[in-house]
Structure 1
Amino acid sequence: MIVELTEVTQFDQVAALFGEIWSLDVAASPVPAELMCALHLAGSYIAGAYLDSELVGASVAFLDASGGLHSHVTGIRASQRGRGVGLALKLHQRDWALARGITKIHWTYDPLVRRNAHFNLVKLGARPVRYLPDFYGPMAEGDSDRFLVEWSLTSSPPAVSGSDALTVAVPEDIEALRRSDPASARRWRLDVREAVQLAFAEGYTVTGMTPDGSYVLTREAE
């Protein structure tokens, strides 16, 4: 069950869940409970996913300057991943936005995390619009590069057009690679960063993924 959250006690539960997911102290949660209080007052989106009475996922989003909704953080308890909770939260967020006349949702994700890329691009149909190097500054896993993606709620992704296409590979499991071979993970980061930034500079956009998990970038034929 997905419900919009409105109470301080609920925000405390979300902060605790986020702390658990990212192995942080509650005080270091990506969105502290007191900030959720302010976001709720300002009309932002805060929702929780419940299994019976247990909070197993949550999402926090706020309005952005473009008139869209920026989904800042969505987290799912590890035991519930792969069971459709993330998709249910995104669809709830979509309905919430459309009910308020909002037609686009933005968020960021690590371009090297293949499962998130597949979920965002293939399952939802969102599209990367900017590459943000080291967006959050140094983090435990190293550089915090992110794709900024845009999810159009009222139209399907544009059909891939133009005959000029590139692919950019990403590792199968970057999180495991960071633990087993940090130097190799760092090389992947720099190689993907360089390839995507060069392609964007030449007019390419990310338009999908191959079955084996590489990004597909295309541009209009001249």
Structure 2
Amino acid sequence: MSSLRRELEGVVIRRAQSPADYRACQDAQRKAWGIAEDGYVIPVATMAGANLHGGLVLGAFQADGAAAAMSFGFLARIEGRIGLYSQLTGVVPGRQSMGLGRHMKLLQREFARADGLPVIAWAFDPLQSGNARFNLAKLGVRVRSYVDDMYGPRTDALNVGVPTDRVIALWDVFEDHAPLDDPGDAPSLIAIREGLPAAVPATADADRLWLPIPHDVAALRHERPTVAEAWRQAVRRAFQAAFDAGYEAAGFVREGEPRCGYILRRRAGD
């Protein structure tokens, strides 16, 4: 078992080691996503099996045994390479300001490096600008695949009533990819027509492309659901067309409207 460990304000981030740890991670998962349906909670047996056979279950454990955050990953084949697929990382409400998610990602990278795993992958909602900025601008991941409605209908608070479209983050743990931080005059993949977003064809010879998204999609889904759905469909079409044309997302800007979106570049060799 790995000795991965970090101590922060009142919690210790470490690998889960017991059934009690796994149950604490289940409780953290319920709280982090507002899950009311047990079918979405990872079973103890699944976490234990993965944790003992090449995967990784991390918890941010308090002195009373409760978990303020958790992360679950398992061995997977990722674009032809064996790596770690991080199924989820979540922080319970009230503890998000501690940087627990970032520390868990860094421990995942430490684990992958120690085990000789060259890549970590995970899925995220492409319209969640905070997650996108963290993944691309802070960690330096790349994105080059889009999955329509990956999980199907969900009932948790973050996903209820919305198709679960996801993009896949790829994090090369032995390489540092400097994220793009300025789209310059890159052509936009989204145009606003009659107040609604629409995907537009990419310029075939552009070195970079700009794919804007809403700054706060959660508020938009609450206040203007029709507009939010138009954004989801436009971003889906724009990403799929760009990926098919050989581009990848390699940077993210989040400076408020309208400077909020992905910077894409041509993949090496394309």
Q: Same fold (TM over 0.5)?
A: yes
Q: Whole-Å Cα distance in 1 between the matches of residues 248 and 89 of structure 2? A: 25
C-alpha distance after superposition, 1:106-129 (max 9, x if no partner): 000000000000000011001112
Superposed, 1:44-59 pairs within 5 Å as 44-53=55-64, 54-59=66-71
Q: Partner of 1:164 in structure 2?
A: 207
Secondary structure at the residue paired with 2:144? strand
For the structure 1 residues 106 and 169, does the alpha-carbon distance in structure 2 shift closer, same or farther, using more than 3 Å as the test? same
Q: Partner of 1:214 in structure 2?
A: 261
Secondary structure at the residue paired with 1:97? helix
Structure 1 residue 100, shift from structure 2 partner:
0.8
The structure that has the greater radius of gyration is 2
Structure 1 residue 34, shift from structure 2 partner:
2.7
Aligned: 1:115 with 2:130: yes
Count residues in correspondence. Answer: 221
Higher alpha-carbon deviation: 81-90 or 117-126: 81-90
C-alpha distance after superposition, 1:49-82 (max 9, x if no partner): 1355442111000000231100001000121113
More helix by share: 1
Q: Partner of 2:173 in structure 1?
A: 153
Q: Whole-Å Cα distance in 2 between the matches of residues 33 and 174 of structure 1? A: 33
Structure 1 residue 141, shift from structure 2 partner:
3.7
Amino acid at match of 2:207: D
Q: Partner of 1:200 in structure 2?
A: 243
- Gaps of at least 5 residues in structure 2 are 1-11, 155-159, 181-204
For the structure 1 residues 177 and 14, does the alpha-carbon distance in structure 2 shift closer, same or farther, using more than 3 Å as the test? same
Aligned: 1:92 with 2:139: no
Q: Could you state the TM-score of these two structures normalised by the residue count of structure 2? A: 0.76
Superposed, 1:121-160 pairs within 5 Å as 121-139=136-154, 140-157=160-177
Q: Whole-Å Cα distance in 2 between the matches of residues 215 and 49 of structure 1? A: 31
Structure 1 residue 159, shift from structure 2 partner:
7.3
Q: Partner of 1:186 in structure 2?
A: 229
- Gaps of at least 5 residues in structure 1 are none
Aligned: 1:25 with 2:36: yes
Q: Is the contact made by 1:16 and 1:29 (CA closer than 8 Å) also made in structure 2?
A: no
For the structure 1 residues 122 and 141, does the alpha-carbon distance in structure 2 shift closer, same or farther, using more than 3 Å as the test? farther
Q: Kindly, what percent of the aligned residue pairs are identical?
A: 32
Q: Whole-Å Cα distance in 2 between the matches of residues 202 and 163 of structure 1? A: 11
Q: Whole-Å Cα distance in 2 between the matches of residues 216 and 2 of structure 1? A: 33
Aligned: 1:69 with 2:64: no
Q: Partner of 2:198 in structure 1?
A: none
- Please report the RMSD computed on the Cα atoms of aligned residues, expressed in angstroms: 2.1
Structure 1 residue 40, shift from structure 2 partner:
2.4
Q: Whole-Å Cα distance in 2 between the matches of residues 21 and 31 of structure 1? A: 13
Q: Could you state the TM-score of these two structures normalised by the residue count of structure 1? A: 0.91
Secondary structure at the residue paired with 1:168? strand
Q: Whole-Å Cα distance in 1 between the matches of residues 138 and 16 of structure 2? A: 26
